[in-house]
Amino acid sequence: MKKTTMVMLIFAATCGWGFGSKTLFAQQSGERPTTKRVTGIGGIFFKCKDPKKIRGWYKTNLGLNVNQYGASFAWRENDDSTKKGLTQWTPFPEKTKYFEPSTKDFMINYRVEHMEALVEELKKNGVTIVDTMQSYDYGKFVHILDVEGNKIELWEPTE
């Protein structure tokens, strides 16, 4: 278990360094960021047999501040500490249809910028767009499938 955790931490740090240095060097050289712009993880969603029991376990054993949806982790933007962000952790019932057409037991929500332009670019690249973009007071959402059929939720939060 410790080895797996260490490997995951090294992988995350490596990805973070690569993303951060690419962004920093692009800004310093005056390059305009590409349309494909994931800015972070908006949420982790997974299927389980008993979401209420899972939420209770995580509250008791890991101290998550849970509600009926899961837990929200608040943070601040690195470049502008006045901007707040959230990452959502949510267990879903194992029979949920929300992850369809994917047959996987998880779904990742990515925070993005410039949703409309991104969706157009994804369409040009032949990416499967599962539904139409929906707007709510907390942001825009659309679902896509990756090359292995994993459903991905893209979220452009309102600032």
Give yes or no for residue 104 having a pLDDT over 90. Answer: yes
Asked whether residue 80 falls in the same domain as residue 50, the answer is yes
- Position 34 scores a pLDDT of 59
d(C-alpha 67, C-alpha 44), whole Å? 15
**Is there a single domain that holds both residue 40 and residue 110?**
yes
Q: Which helix H or strand E contains 60, and what residues bound it?
A: helix 51-62
pLDDT over threshold 60, residue 117: yes
Per-residue pLDDT tens for 13-63? 444 444 444 444 444 545 545 566 888 899 999 999 999 999 999 999 889
Q: Using DSSP, state whether 100 is helix, strand or coil.
A: coil
Write the pLDDT tens digit of every residue in 92-103: 999 999 999 999
60 and 2 share one domain: no
**Highest mean pLDDT, choosing among 20-24, 104-108, 155-159:** 104-108
Task: Place 110 in a pLDDT band, splitting at 50, 70 and 90.
Answer: very high
Q: What is the CATH number of the domain that holds 46?
A: 3.10.180.10
Alpha carbons 147 and 123: distance in angstroms, whole number: 13
Q: What is the tally of structural domains in the chain?
A: 2
Based on the domain organization, do 20 and 86 belong to the same domain? no
Domain identity same for 14 and 82: no
Range of the domain at 42: 34-157
Domain co-membership, 17 together with 41? no
Report helix, strand or coil for 41.
strand
pTM of the predicted model as reported, rounded to 2 decimal places:
0.73
In this structure, are 18 and 44 located in the same domain?
A: no
